[in-house]
Amino acid sequence: MGADNSATIEVMKKIGVAVLTAAVIAGTGLAFKNFVDPYETVFRVVDGDTFILENNKQAVRLFGIDAPELVNCYGQESLSRLSELLEKGKVQLKEPVVDKFGRIVSLVYVNGRLINETMIKEGFAAYRSEPGSGKEAMKTAHESAKSGKTGIYSPVCTDEVSPNPECNIKGNHDLDRNEDLYLLPTCPYYHTVIIRRFEGDRWFCSESEAQKAGFKLSPACGLGTNRTPVEK
């Protein structure tokens, strides 16, 4: 490659950084597939759905998946598995965009293997429905992991019934409201809520215990006569 071509590539990369910055500021989620190298080296894996690129220290989040936080059930296992998968070769980013946090969100391939799909299929991450390529493959992977009770969907991380009958208050991290809420057995919808410890859900033995942990009574419970009083 000649000196002129090398200089041109460097200029394009600088232009790409400028475009990325503008996209983040504008909150457009602009695609920038022309401004990243075809194959990238991973600098560090942050958790089960995010890693850092070597060349520009840019954070990349895997599109369409949500891995457990490191402190939650299967969080460390998810981190280890993504690290293993990314060690097998350079990563290829397909259809990357920038989210409102300034991260690259992308389909990630290693040696032709879609890592997003693998993490879901093996039960190391949940599927989050988003429009884009790879959606059907990831949805199928999700259904397979869930029906097979694999990984985060196994009894290790998912409960329908409390292992301790005396501790039957459900602490639920509501993803839609981004709130930690608890439900009593007398609350409507109580039996439809599944405890997913990989999402930060947990069981409590009393309302006071739930409140000390930062959970609030779910609005669905109301203040009916069947409500158990808060312990002092």
Which domain CATH number covers 36? 2.40.50.90
CA–CA separation, 125 and 128 (whole Å)? 9
Catalytic residue (one of 40, 44, 54, 61) = 61
Domain termination residue (choose one: 106, 133, 153): 153
With bands split at pLDDT 50, 70 and 90, how would you rate the model's confidence at 6? Answer: very low
Q: Is 61 a catalytic residue?
A: yes
Catalytic residue (one of 54, 103, 113, 128) = 103
pLDDT of residue 110: 95
Kindly state whether residue 21 falls inside one of the protein's structural domains: no
Whether 3 has a pLDDT exceeding 50, the answer reads no
With bands split at pLDDT 50, 70 and 90, how would you rate the model's confidence at 27? Answer: very low
Other C-beta atoms closer than 10 Å to the C-beta of 172 total: 23
Length in residues, the chain? 232
Domain termination residue (choose one: 153, 183, 212): 153
Residues 47 and 94 both lie in one domain: yes
Catalytic residue (one of 54, 69, 179, 209) = 69
pLDDT tens-digit series, residues 109-128: 999 999 999 999 999 999 99
Residues 183 and 89 both lie in one domain: no
Q: Is 103 a catalytic residue?
A: yes
Q: Is 199 a catalytic residue?
A: no
Q: Which of 74-78, 121-125, 158-162 has the lowest mean pLDDT?
A: 158-162
Residues 139 and 190 both lie in one domain: no
Whole-structure pTM value: 0.75
In the numeric block, which tokens belong to residue 210? 């739930």
With bands split at pLDDT 50, 70 and 90, how would you rate the model's confidence at 223? Answer: low
Domain of 125 in residue numbering reads as 29-153
The values of phi and psi at residue 180, to 5°, are -95, 115
pLDDT of residue 165: 92
In the numeric block, which tokens belong to residue 60? 């990349």
Domain termination residue (choose one: 153, 188, 210): 153
Whether 15 has a pLDDT exceeding 50, the answer reads no
pLDDT of residue 29: 43
Residues 68 and 81 both lie in one domain: yes
Residues 36 and 104 both lie in one domain: yes
How many structural domains does the chain have? 2
Kindly state whether residue 49 falls inside one of the protein's structural domains: yes
Residues 140 and 167 both lie in one domain: no
Residues 84 and 169 both lie in one domain: no
Residues 54 and 78 both lie in one domain: yes
Residues 193 and 214 both lie in one domain: yes
Span 71-91, mean pLDDT? 95
In the chain, the N- to C-terminal Cα span, in Å, equals 75
- The chain-wide mean pLDDT, for the chain, equals 83
Other C-beta atoms closer than 10 Å to the C-beta of 52 total: 14
Residues 188 and 141 both lie in one domain: no
